[in-house]
Amino acid sequence: MNSIQDLIGLQKIDTHLEEIEELLGNLPRKVAALKSEEKTLTSDFEQGKVRLKEIKVELHKAEVNVTGYKEKIEKLKDQLFLVTNNKQYDALMHEIDSLKELTRIKLGEKNLLRKYGIGKKNQVIKF
């Protein structure tokens, strides 16, 4: 008789387990998917922080370059008054024009970095 009581008890436990599993449904799979998504988001966030630091460095370099180019342009403009022939004047003007173009390019890069967070590889930061 004890074995029948054990079987009845086991059946009740089994039924209870089935009810619990039914209540859980696909919850374990959802939890696993959410944990995976959390890991991905955390990784993307960390990569974004690294990329932001890189962009700040690139911005600073561009600003330093622009400042240097502007200083060189001013020095070359001052030298224009000291030239004695057309060849020297043309050479200085060519160098000034080249520096102005470099300045324009660096300012454009700087603006892109500030506006879009785009670096040398055209990678957009994910936030």
Longest dimension (CA), the chain: 123
**DSSP calls for the chain:** -HHHHHHHHHHHHHHHHHHHHHHHTTHHHHHHHHHHHHHHHHHHHHHHHHHHHHHHHHHHHHHHHHHHHHHHHHHHHHHHTT--SHHHHHHHHHHHHHHHHHHHHHHHHHHHHHHH-B-TT-PBPP-
Q: Are 73 and 96 in contact (CB under 8 A)?
A: yes
Q: Residue 125 has what pLDDT? A: 46
For the segment 44-66, what is each residue's pLDDT rounded down to a tens digit?
A: 999 989 988 988 898 899 899 99
Tens-digit pLDDT profile for residues 72-120: 999 999 998 888 899 999 999 999 999 999 999 999 888 888 887 755 4
Q: Is the pLDDT reported for residue 122 higher than 90?
A: no
Write down the pLDDT at residue 112.
84
At residue 123 the predicted structure's pLDDT band, cuts being 50, 70 and 90, is low
103, 70 in Cβ contact below 8 A?
A: yes
The whole-number pLDDT of residue 111 equals 86
